[in-house]
Amino acid sequence: MLPLGASIAICAPPIVGTPDGSSFALHSLVVMLNKFFIIFLLTIFSVCVSAEDKDLAKLFEQQGVEGTIVISSLDGEYTFIQNEFRAKQSLAVASTFKIMNTLISLEEKAILGKNDVFKWDGHIYDLPDWNHDQTLESAFKVSCVWCYQELARRVGKKKYQYYFNKSGYGHLQEPFSLTTFWLDGSLEISALEQVEFLKKVYLRSLPFSPFSYETLKKIMFVDQSATYTIYAKTGWASRAKPQVGWYVGYLETPKNVWFFAANIETRNEKDLPLRIKLTRQALQAKGIIE
């Protein structure tokens, strides 16, 4: 089989002219057959590109979880998909919405920067990390729901609708609750759509200022090595049935930028570490990280 991106050259044999014009008819037939053959080959290659990735499928099978992952290069030349059907399925965005929510909140001056402070009101939450004052950066890192609910009140419904329409982000069911729509399933998105959204964020093609993009990138930072830097966000749609665990983001390498979106059907809280574990294993399986 030809490697992806290889050109296909099919040369018709020379046609010797005849007085009755049969050479023209024969030449036309050869050209037509060439076109059909090229289309046939391209169809085969297309199937190969979109077919289920066996390396990635094996990783999910080993963990015994239902899920999907999409990995795509910035230019779209390489895309790897595990469970294409699920990759197209819209699911509750959960805390992955904090990526978009951060951009909107910064743009609308609902918060002024990564070190701007949310004052804790003393309410005791189940997660100890939420029970103190937060900055925008710390709220993003620990997925502080009460912090982003406060931002939602400051932004308002109309502004969310405006940015969703301008950016084509997700699928919002109306009417929706201002402080829970990303948690209760009113706002959904697919893994494929997550990747496309993240590419727009990286390319800064959405209606946000350089300051908003730069601030988001700083708080999305997760990990760095000699060969890559990862920016990402987890999410857990615990109210969904079945529950959904997300890990979405991108990593920069010396030669390329890779985007990923993984989601799994979480049976309980113990499954949550698999979001990041499977993503890292998938990136290793495709030779993107070591």
Q: Quote the pLDDT of residue 13.
A: 39
- What pLDDT, in 10s, does the model give residues 210-228? 999 999 999 999 999 999 9
The CATH label, of 2.40.50.180, 3.40.50.720, 3.40.710.10, 3.40.50.1100, for the domain at 53-285 is 3.40.710.10
Cα 94 from Cα 143, distance rounded (Å):
10
What is the three-class DSSP state of 285? Answer: helix
User: How is residue 68 written in tokens?
Assistant: 């999907």
What is the three-class DSSP state of 91? Answer: strand
Cα 248 from Cα 279, distance rounded (Å):
9
The residues spanned by each domain of the chain are 1-51, 53-285
- The list of the chain residues with pLDDT below 70 reads 1-51
* Chain centroid to CA 50: 17
Q: Which residues are catalytic?
A: 95
Give the CB-side neighbour count of residue 147, counting CA atoms within 13 A. Answer: 28
- What pLDDT, in 10s, does the model give residues 109-152? 999 999 999 999 999 999 999 999 999 999 999 999 999 999 99
Q: Quote the pLDDT of residue 161.
A: 96
Q: What is the DSSP letter of 289?
A: -
Cα 123 from Cα 115, distance rounded (Å):
22
This prediction's pTM: 0.82
Peptide bond into 175 cis (omega under 30): yes
